[in-house]
Structure 1
Amino acid sequence: MKGVLALAVAASMAFLQAQAAKEVFAHVITGNTGGLSQQDWETDMKLAKSLSIDGFVFNVGFGDTKNEATLTTAFKAANAQKFTGFLSLDYLGGPLEQKAWPKADAQALIQKFAGDPAYFKVDGKPFVSTFEGPANAPDWPDIKKSTNCFFVPDWSSLDAKAAVAAAGGVVDGLFSFNAWPNGDTNITTQPDKNFQGALTGGKKYMMPVSPWFFTNLPGFNKNWLWHGDNLWDTRWAQVMEINPDFVEILTWNDWGESHYINNVRATELDLFKLSNAPVNYAANNPHTGWQKFLPFYIAQYKAGGKAPAITKEDAYVSYRKTKATACPSGGTTGNNKDFGQTEVPPETLVEDSVFFAALLKSDEGVTVEVTFGGAADAAAPAGVNGTAATAAFTQAPAGGKGTPGVYLGAVPFGANTGAVTLTVKRAGAEIAKVTGPAITTTCEGGVQNWNAVAV
């Protein structure tokens, strides 16, 4: 009997340990959340749970006097919602001139929150990450000893092998911030494979997934765009290929870098004024479309790439609301020389198209129409004066046409303006219909808003 009980306990422990991996987290900039109440946090956590996200990554910069109060409120909400989260110490962001976390302060913050019931743990060890900070790698043997943490930093500024070897091999895994492509080509999985190849001996890999990147914050000396057309769905397909131990979504609420997937909350947008941004490019730019297929993608990831049953077919569109050459660039560069990239005109990294995605049991008998609500000149490719343009899927799921999954396509909007409507039908019967904000010729703040909408 004892032997049977021991086997049952061992099997249970093995199951729990297996469940410690294959988790999906969303990166939260806590510096944007200082005004949130516990109810606000619970609202966000309810939404995240409905999207099958397992927890939040609390990015905290050194010297923010609101850190402890914000985290205390967030963990109270997480306990109330049966949600989870962990700390990511930001070694490049913070209100003080000293931005890197001193060892004693990093240790104290981890010790304060790691014992919370809602804190995410792997094999009983509190999970801790970073944004950069490899110069402080020698601090971590002592921090790990005093906190017993499971340490998975983002040291992407180092080669993966060098990051693994840093401070005598202190890491238990690595997180990569390489979530965006260089130039006008699509993102590849080679950086992910480099990380996985370097992480031997049971060390874990946390893979990044992001939908977009644009920032124009003069106060932070940030003003560049990376190629993001179709990035979200492309990256999730790569998750199935790489099959990482964990996934981190970049981000939940980084409004200043335009890769948020949370519903836009006006009370979190103070940074645009504080940084003297020429335009608040998050306001009136919803990204809710990128929420739609998350339950499908996350279930597929946790099933080892096998597509789950689709109970509701759906669709979304994503696009920029202004033609790339309609407004002054705002000084934005395509790429960033500080990352060793060749800077190019930003308009070369984006297409003036409406990108659409449909979650389907099969594409058999399915037709797609895109309608532009405004008038257009004779050169407009389709949808002129509200007429419907028939569009085709250009990318099928990994299983090929006729299989369940996400199908992708795009329609150039040319000189068309007005609201965008996507209609998906099978054998003439409507499956999904989505209407997005108007494409215009208006230059917000006198400059180009390179952010996208996704609805």
Structure 2
Amino acid sequence: MRRAKSLGIDAFALNIGVDTNTNQQLELAYESARQHSMKVFLSFDFNWWQNDQAFEIGEMIARFATWPAQLIVDNKTFASTFGGDGLNVSAAKEAAGTPVLFVPNLQVELGLEAAVDGLFNWMAWPHNGRNKAPTTHNNVSVGDGDRAYVHALAGRPYIAPVSPWFFTHFGPEVSFSKNWVFPADLLWYERWSEILALQPRFVEIVSWNDYGESHYTGPLHTLHTDDGSSKWVNDMPHDGWLEMAKPFIAAFKAGAPSPDNYITSDQLIYWYRPAPRGQDCDSTDTCMVSANNSSGDYFLGRPDGWTSVQDSVFVVSLLRGPATIHIKSGGRLHRYDAPAGAFPQEVPMIPGEQSFSVSRGGKIILSGASSKPVLENCICGLYNFNAYGNILTPQSLITSSDIQF
């Protein structure tokens, strides 16, 4: 929570089911938030909650409404959901017995109940309109979703989503088998730029610690149970993504159209997948056998949508002044001039070591080699479409003899 607060994040959504230890865990989370001057709010996950539990949802909101760390907006207890189409929102708010700003994740196509105070749009990635990667004939951008929600809300608050990645690869080892990828590539940078132009009432980062879908932005060393995703998450930090977001968050809060005036030091953020998308892992991958596909989310072998992602190294520079950037991917050198401010770039990803440097006025100001090479093999035997990400700061500067360009 200290790290989140230092980056400008104001509150955590606590995604909850109906486990027997939910109340105990929530009490710990609310108390930790209080100790760190952070706010939290309940988000009811309708993978577990049911539409006929409006009274129970209201009771849960009431239980934590007076805790010091509860997020209060417009003098109302803030609450949200993941899913929940068909929930009687009016009944849930009445059961809470306290003013509630209820901003659930509902489909705008189904219409809005008058009691809904706003909406959260969870679809933070380009898609085909059916929760899978876009195709040539079915391509729905995140911006398309923004426009649909803003139009339907007609002035009511909108929670706009922003997310860096999406990849999940669960096979028959779990009951919720699913195997697909949404194209993200430079989405993290592009989406934050859209946020500054849109200026919604709220922004929600998806997510802090969802390892199973690979869109975690928090530190990997945080203690958590393994749902099987460790096979594509271990040694795959996403360090740097939140640092990239920091000046965008500051700009958003200031109503500014650009993050450039909020960049306080030179940094280079980079990310890439650990293997080319065409790597053949059929003989060892855990998704090469039949599994529960009641959801329609399970596909054999490579994740559905795998051709929509690019074999590239993605870089965003945050610079106080113009500089020259060198990227060496698998022995192939790329050089370009980057302006002051936030600037995105991608270069072809070549197997081998990945290294980076930034120079200004003939002097190297940032340099480093990634600890994760791109391999032409199958990590843990899997098709791993997760991203490895890191950051160069002035503290990571190494000598020119350590890295050759």
TM-score range (shorter-chain normalised) is 0.7 to 0.9
Letter of the aligned partner of 1:226 in structure 2? F
1: CA distance between counterparts of 2:56 and 2:163? 30
**1:310 paired residue number:** 263
Q: Please identify runs of 4+ aligned residues in structure 1 that moved more than 6 A.
A: none
**2:376 paired residue number:** 441
Change (3 A) 1:181 1:434: farther
Aligned residues: 361
2: CA distance between counterparts of 1:267 and 1:100? 32
Tell me which protein shows more helix as a share of its residues.
Answer: 1
Aligned-pair CA distance for 1:362: 4.0
Please tell me whether the aligned partners of residues 185 and 310 of structure 2 are also in contact (alpha carbons under 8 angstroms).
yes
SS of aligned partner of 1:130? strand
Please tell me whether the aligned partners of residues 193 and 242 of structure 1 are also in contact (alpha carbons under 8 angstroms).
no
Aligned-pair CA distance for 1:429: 2.1
User: For 1:66-101, what per-residue CA distance to the aligned partner results, in whole angstroms no more than 9, with x for missing partners?
Assistant: 211111011111111111011100111x3xxx7557
Residues 13-162 of structure 1 correspond to what in structure 2 (within 5 A)? 45-61=1-17, 63-92=18-47, 94=48, 102-136=53-87, 138=88, 140-145=89-94, 146-156=97-107, 158-159=108-109, 162=110
1:205 maps to which of 158, 164, 168: 158
SS of aligned partner of 1:432? strand
Identity across the alignment (%): 32
Please tell me whether the aligned partners of residues 290 and 454 of structure 1 are also in contact (alpha carbons under 8 angstroms).
yes
1:241 maps to which of 197, 202, 209: 197
**1:410 paired residue number:** 346
Residues 2-13 of structure 1 correspond to what in structure 2 (within 5 A)? none
Please tell me whether the aligned partners of residues 316 and 454 of structure 1 are also in contact (alpha carbons under 8 angstroms).
yes
Letter of the aligned partner of 1:260 in structure 2? Y
> Is it true that 1:358 corresponds to 2:303 in the alignment?
no
SS of aligned partner of 1:64? coil
**2:150 paired residue number:** 196
SS of aligned partner of 1:56? strand
1:429 maps to which of 363, 367, 373: 363
**1:262 paired residue number:** 218
1: CA distance between counterparts of 2:52 and 2:325? 52
Letter of the aligned partner of 2:206 in structure 1? L
2: CA distance between counterparts of 1:186 and 1:453? 26
2: CA distance between counterparts of 1:119 and 1:101? 25
Unaligned 5+ residue runs, structure 1?
Answer: 1-44, 375-382, 394-400
Aligned-pair CA distance for 1:134: 1.1
SS of aligned partner of 1:191? helix
2: CA distance between counterparts of 1:188 and 1:131? 17
User: For 1:135-186, what per-residue CA distance to the aligned partner results, in whole angstroms no more than 9, with x for missing partners?
Assistant: 22x2x21221223210100013x42xx44x23xx111111101200022779
User: For 1:174-215, what per-residue CA distance to the aligned partner results, in whole angstroms no more than 9, with x for missing partners?
Assistant: 110120002277944121022112222x41011000000001
Please tell me whether the aligned partners of residues 169 and 303 of structure 2 are also in contact (alpha carbons under 8 angstroms).
no
2: CA distance between counterparts of 1:203 and 1:59? 23
Aligned-pair CA distance for 1:338: 5.3
SS of aligned partner of 1:192? helix
| TM-score relative to the length of structure 1 | 0.74
Change (3 A) 1:83 1:230: same
Letter of the aligned partner of 1:52 in structure 2? G
Letter of the aligned partner of 1:68 in structure 2? N
Please tell me whether the aligned partners of residues 266 and 283 of structure 1 are also in contact (alpha carbons under 8 angstroms).
no
- Root-mean-square deviation (CA, aligned residues, Å) is 2.5
Letter of the aligned partner of 2:8 in structure 1? S
2: CA distance between counterparts of 1:344 and 1:82? 40
1:325 maps to which of 278, 285, 296: 278
Please tell me whether the aligned partners of residues 319 and 354 of structure 1 are also in contact (alpha carbons under 8 angstroms).
yes
Please tell me whether the aligned partners of residues 124 and 142 of structure 2 are also in contact (alpha carbons under 8 angstroms).
no
Letter of the aligned partner of 2:335 in structure 1? A
Please tell me whether the aligned partners of residues 391 and 411 of structure 1 are also in contact (alpha carbons under 8 angstroms).
no
Please tell me whether the aligned partners of residues 315 and 434 of structure 1 are also in contact (alpha carbons under 8 angstroms).
no
Letter of the aligned partner of 2:233 in structure 1? A
Please tell me whether the aligned partners of residues 55 and 91 of structure 2 are also in contact (alpha carbons under 8 angstroms).
no
Aligned-pair CA distance for 1:430: 2.4
Please tell me whether the aligned partners of residues 391 and 410 of structure 1 are also in contact (alpha carbons under 8 angstroms).
no
